[in-house]
Amino acid sequence: MAEQYDLIVIGSGPGGYVCAVRAAQLGLKVAVVEKNESHGGTCLNIGCIPSKALLHTSEMFEEAGHGLEKLGIKVNKPKLDLKGMMAHKDETVKANVDGVAFLFKKNKVDAFHGTGSVAVPGQVLVTSDDGKTETLATKAIVIATGSDSTPLPGVDIDEKTVVTSTGALELTKVPARMIVVGAGVIGLELGSVWRRLGSKVTVVEFLDRILPGIDADVAKQFHRMLRRQGIDFKLGSKVTGVEKVSRALKVSVEPAKGGDTETLDADIVLVSIGRIPYTEGLGLEAAGVETNERGRIKTNGHFQTNVPGIFAIGDVIDGPMLAHKAEDEGVAVAEILAGQAGHVNYDVIPNVVYTEPEVASVGKTEEELKEAGIEYKAGKFPFTANGRARAMNATDGFVKFLADAKTDRVLGVHIVGRGAGEMIHEAAVLMEFGGSSEDLGRTCHAHPTMSEAVREAAMATHFKPIHM
């Protein structure tokens, strides 16, 4: 064991690489162990970044085919170059993962390629692909090994016709019929991509609503919009099996409450029923690191596991499985290790569905406030009454504010509409500073912008909007 590190991070996803860079910026001697060929984890390689590249390009394709004529622009029917679209996605991924390698170099973070495991507290064993091992010594270990797709019992994934999100980002031709299992964020985003490119998409969801966890009002309106776009839904239903019959797939679907099975035909089945923490090969049991009943590593408020010197962040611990949540935890734990007061405010973590229109939220839903018995007032403003939205032919959706009935402090903001994922951040900043709906309602907003609808919804909560 040559060197003693202050910190070794296992996993270089958004949690791990951000933690390593921040710790190095604060003067710690840092190494990262990554088993994948490239850095960046799920997010940069097979998650956020490639999916957003395909969401953008497929949206451009749809706009060229169906949206421009309404704006007085006549173009010939666009032709799909799927190879070209995938090449753009791959280039985007490469630029991002190379960026992480560059950041490691710039900040003098040592990068080791191999599977990291916790030998004992203070030691990380790196096993390379050819089986060679190396032991590294360190004062602290941060586990940031992320998550994997949840398997569906009775359904074999081959990543060719029965795929997870990873396979759905790599299809070489547009399937005529796609069945998406699960109406969560990933299923709806990737279902939207392939619907725009020409697939007949049917989403099968166990619950009787889409987007569990999102404000029900927003989810209901969004469900209607997706149906109008041509996506079919089978809610309150479960997929119990997928059978390959020559080139097609026969998908067995049953009512969630029980009943007769029906068979749907598909060319591709996308299984997107959630993600599970990934801890394989880490040697947690031997090191005595405790996990909870869902396999997530248990941590205290300072990201420390039950074993001194071992910390964990990101998808592998509790909380929403989101890249920016992992990043913020990475920064916080690095700051704690450097003797500072690192902290994550879990009440203000934005959540975005990058479809068209987008769905974005921060803070509590109306259902959560009701359940907690918190008295609140709600204010809503539709994009149909916003000048910029009319100019862009983007009037679908609304902004909804939820504020404490007595203090007017904003508790939650929910937006469905074009660019919702950008607009949500003014609500996040407002909430981070404990702001009220009156604070936002009295803040001058540039005209004409979609963000004026955010201000008017704040006004609607405190008093009355002008344009309604």
Ligand X SMILES: Cc1cc2nc3c(=O)[nH]c(=O)nc-3n(C[C@H](O)[C@H](O)[C@H](O)COP(=O)(O)OP(=O)(O)OC[C@H]3O[C@@H](n4cnc5c(N)ncnc54)[C@H](O)[C@@H]3O)c2cc1C
Q: What single-letter DSSP state applies at residue 66?
A: I
Q: In terms of CB distance, is 175 or 330 closer to ligand X?
A: 330
Q: At what angle do helices 451-462 and 420-432 cross, to 10 degrees?
A: 50
Q: In terms of CB distance, is 104 or 278 closer to ligand X?
A: 278
Q: Would you mind telling me the total number of residues written for the chain in this entry?
A: 468
Concerning whether 414 is annotated as a catalytic residue, the answer is no
Task: Using DSSP, state whether 83 is helix, strand or coil.
Answer: helix
Would you list the DSSP string of 220-265? HHHHHHHHHHT-EEE-SEEEEEEEEETTEEEEEEEETT----EEEE
Nearest to 289, CA basis, from 307, 312, 316: 307
Q: In terms of CB distance, is 122 or 146 closer to ligand X?
A: 146
CA 193 to chain centre: 16
Catalytic site residue from 324, 447, 462, 467: 447
Report in angstroms how near the CB of residue 22 gets to ligand X at its nearest: 13
Residue 433 neighbours by CB under 8 Å, 6+ apart? none
Q: In terms of CB distance, is 282 or 369 closer to ligand X?
A: 282
Q: In terms of CB distance, is 144 or 249 closer to ligand X?
A: 144
* Cis preceding-peptide flag for 448 (omega within 30 of 0): yes
Report in angstroms how near the CB of residue 47 gets to ligand X at its nearest: 3
Compute, in degrees rounded to 10, the torsion defined by CA atoms 386, 392, 397, 399.
-50
Q: What are the CA-CA distances from residue 95 to residues 38, 99, 146, 356, 442 (Å)?
A: 11, 6, 21, 25, 41
Report in angstroms how near the CB of residue 190 gets to ligand X at its nearest: 7
Contact 420, 397 (CB under 8 A): yes
Report in angstroms how near the CB of residue 164 gets to ligand X at its nearest: 8
Compute, in degrees rounded to 10, the torsion defined by CA atoms 351, 399, 207, 265.
-90
Report in angstroms how near the CB of residue 372 gets to ligand X at its nearest: 25
The footprint of ligand X (CB under 6 A) covers 10-16, 33-36, 41-43, 47-48, 51, 115-116, 144-147, 165, 186, 278, 281-282, 314-316, 321-324, 326, 354
User: Hey, which residues are catalytic here?
Assistant: 447
